[in-house]
Structure 1
Amino acid sequence: MICIILSAGMGRRLMPLTQDIPKPLLKINGMTLLERMIKNCIKAEIADFIVIAGYNAHKVHDSAELLEQKYGISITVFDNEDYADTNTSVSTYLASSYIERNNPDDFMLINGDNVVDPEIIAKIAKTANTAMVVDNFKTLNEESFKIIIENGTIKEIGKGIDIDSSTGEFIGISKVVKADIEAFNEILFQLIEQDKQNYYDLAFKPLSKETKIDYVFTDGCEWTEIDDSDDWQMAKRLVNEFENCH
């Protein structure tokens, strides 16, 4: 299995922390978010990585080279040169289309600004089918990327859907098995054609009607996406918890 880590964004809401570096290279307890996520994936027996860079891409390249040497893994870095004018659908397609063209294999897809309990990565790595991690535990709000699941398919996904009807929040960690890559990429390409600012997450709604998706629930395992200073403080707290528990 391959792991795609999206690391192209600027992290405007975290300025000045991200004045000179992309969010995934921010450090907590001396380790970058990118390295921490890669370590979680290595524990799940993943050794091949694709990292999508954009903002200050050269620093991501330099970091990837050091991590390759440190852990004896393979990291391919692709640049989304239009990172400032596109969204995660474009960054994802750079990697997923490459995998389809070259050596189709199951791949995990992770937002590079996530800090998660390592158990979440271990759980989704073991699924037999295409899968998504859904937080079924925490209280949702207007900013949550909500998901409504009915009879195994996704009825709705996005921020602007009804909180009370939602199954939970999609946390930005998913998996696409080899048999579903072609269909996933076709849907992703259509989303990009419609609007380059689309999120890749939206591809799972039509995909769920074509193939079986496993929904991996967090069941209280903690995580955070880092968008602002409050998230950053949460991430630091969680890292300290994880380091003391694992």
Structure 2
Amino acid sequence: MIGLVLAAGAGRRLRPYTDTLPKALVPVDGETTILDLTLKNFAEIGLTEVAIVVGYRKEAVYDRKEALEAKYGLKLTLVDNDKAEEWNNAYSLWCAREVLKRGVILANGDTVHPVSVEKTLLAARGDGKKIILALDTVKHLADEEMKVITAEGKGVQRITKLMDPATATGEYIGVTLIEAEAAEELADALKATFERDPDLYYEDGYQELVHRGFTVDVEPIGDVKWVEIDNHDDLAKGREIACQY
């Protein structure tokens, strides 16, 4: 199993930082970036290889590749997304379809979270689970969050931002454990998703799998501090908690 980071997005709401950097390289603790924190987590759980999907301002990631490898003791492979500024991240994850065949822990490139999330997912492996989503069942939800409804023993029933928060079981935080045996089915679902609409999320690919009868499991992460950084308010929150990790 290896790490996988989606870091192709432009993050325009974080300008001026993202005028020259992808969102994953925005600093959250001194010179420490969101990507640094994710790589640190991966190294701490014993991973030795990480693939990073890059697109917008990808040269900034290429420039730092060797330094990041040396700092975290990881072998990094960069996967180019040729449509990063045109299409949404269902296509971005599909670009890593060969990587998925090795089994991955996937982390969005804009999520600041503690290593306990990865540890929780690893501890939940087994019993035939092929895809396990990290779920926050504590946070009070609003309209912007990627919300999930689950059913006892059946996993995810619905995953979308477009639902009444009061009906949701919790929020998907942007970290998933994907076993190798799920790779081909997931890649096919992602392809169907972006071919239907290039603006769809990879979470819509998860929903496609559910519609096909595939069980997508979840694992609650407990009461931990994390944030998805989309705008400057989120960045301020990220900087408050990043120094704790």
Residue 82 of structure 1: aligned partner: 83
Confirm or deny that 1:241 pairs with 2:244: yes
Structure 1 Cα separation of the partners of residues 20 and 84 of structure 2: 16
Which of residues 197, 200, 213 is equivalent to 1:198? 200
Match of 1:164, SS state, is helix
**Contact persistence 1:127–1:214 (CA under 8 A):** no
How does the TM-score come out when normalised to structure 1? 0.91
Residue 120 of structure 2: aligned partner: 123
**Contact persistence 1:180–1:211 (CA under 8 A):** no
Residue 14 of structure 1: aligned partner: 14
Residue 230 of structure 1: aligned partner: 233
Following superposition of structure 1 onto structure 2, how do residues 93-132 of structure 1 map, counting pairs within 5 Å? 93-95=94-96, 97-99=97-99, 104-128=101-125, 129=129, 130-132=131-133
Following superposition of structure 1 onto structure 2, how do residues 1-246 of structure 1 map, counting pairs within 5 Å? 1-27=1-27, 28-95=29-96, 97-99=97-99, 104-128=101-125, 129=129, 130-151=131-152, 152-208=154-210, 210-242=213-245
Match of 1:241, SS state, is coil
Instruction: Tell me how many residue pairs correspond in the alignment.
Output: 238
Regions of 4+ moved over 6 Å:
none
Structure 2 Cα separation of the partners of residues 199 and 175 of structure 1: 17
Deviation of the 1:212 alpha carbon: 4.1
How does the TM-score come out when normalised to structure 2? 0.92
Q: Which runs of 5+ in 1 are unaligned?
A: none
**Contact persistence 2:120–2:221 (CA under 8 A):** no
Structure 2 Cα separation of the partners of residues 117 and 69 of structure 1: 22
Q: Which runs of 5+ in 2 are unaligned?
A: none
Deviation of the 1:218 alpha carbon: 2.0
Structure 1 Cα separation of the partners of residues 75 and 244 of structure 2: 29
Deviation of the 1:164 alpha carbon: 1.3
Structure 1 Cα separation of the partners of residues 238 and 10 of structure 2: 18
